[in-house]
A = this chain, B = another copy of it.
Amino acid sequence: MQVINSVKEMKQVRQKLTGTVGFVPTMGFLHEGHLTLVRRAKRKNDVAVVSIFVNPTQFGPGEDLQQYPRDTERDLALLEKEGVDIVFMPTPNDMYPDSYNTWVETSGITKRLEGKKRPGHFRGVTTIVNKLLNIVLPHKAYFGQKDAQQLRVIQKMVADLNMHVRIVTVTTVREKDGLAMSSRNIYLNDEERKAALVLYKVLSVAEELYMRGEHDAARIKVKMTGLINKESLAKIDYISIANSDTLEELTYIDHPALISMAVKIGTTRLIDNRTIG
């Protein structure tokens, strides 16, 4: 496994690769969700490239950039075990030199949900993903369904800018009890870990209501809100039932819908989602 730390070297190495390249961009502190993407990339391509880069431009002021968990040694051991060919770990200064001044921004879909709660977040995401795709030039890039809006934003950017890469989606990987895997789960203490299950639970309740014939989005949201509010450690940031493609809020679910939410458990902000219909 080759570990590359500079943009220049990664581009040089890329020029010499033959066959198809599968790419998994990550912020490190890898969990089973990442590894599922990595295995898919490995199985479906001649060369598997994984990047580890905690991208400063997608964190807002007061967010957890500084405390974001990092464990490079463990990450590299995990990736080695999966048979990854290349790990790209650039420095922040190499990705964003002092004179850095170019931004890739997708409007519309980024104004809702996470984008509304975290202004500038998606501009950071589209910019770094655009840069990484330009450096690694993969045939396919793999993203998890857990970050449902991010996935749609990246698909939109790739389509709008006519990039050659194919974006592949992989289902959210969960703990045995249903909690969606996230590097941020490490922030939770035992009590919070139990409380965090409420996200999964209310998604299941919402789906069940829908399956039983409830298509009124407001009424499903009321049920979800009530259940989350019963959990004293949980505080709702948003709950959304939206058109699965455009992420516009639905009043009546007559179209595939994305139920998504952000909930603070103690001081940790978690997101989760499910597609219905």
Are A105 and B106 interface neighbours, CB within 8 A? no
Are B130 and A161 interface neighbours, CB within 8 A? yes
- A27 vs B156: C-alpha distance in the bound complex, in angstroms? 26
- A153 vs B90: C-alpha distance in the bound complex, in angstroms? 25
How many residues in A have their beta carbons less than 8 Å from beta carbons of B? 26
Are B102 and A160 interface neighbours, CB within 8 A? yes
Stretch in contact with the other chain, from A59-67, A131-139, A235-243, A262-270: A131-139
Provided the pairs A11-B164, A161-B131, A162-B131 are in contact, do residues A108 and B101 lie with their beta carbons within 8 angstroms? Answer: yes
* A276 part of interface (Cβ distance < 8 Å): no
- A161 vs B103: C-alpha distance in the bound complex, in angstroms? 8
* A220 part of interface (Cβ distance < 8 Å): no
Interface residues of A in 94-122 (CB under 8 A from B): 99-109
Q: A residues engaging B (CB < 8 A)?
A: 7, 11, 99-109, 126, 130-131, 134-135, 137, 156-157, 160-164
A-B contact pairs, 28 of them (CB 8 A): A7-B162, A11-B162, A101-B106, A101-B107, A101-B108, A101-B109, A101-B156, A101-B160, A102-B104, A102-B105, A102-B106, A102-B126, A102-B157, A102-B160, A103-B104, A103-B105, A103-B106, A103-B107, A104-B104, A104-B161, A105-B105, A131-B160, A131-B161, A131-B162, A134-B161, A134-B162, A134-B164, A137-B164
Nearest first, the 4 A-B pairs at minimum CB distance are A102-B160, A101-B108, A102-B106, A134-B162
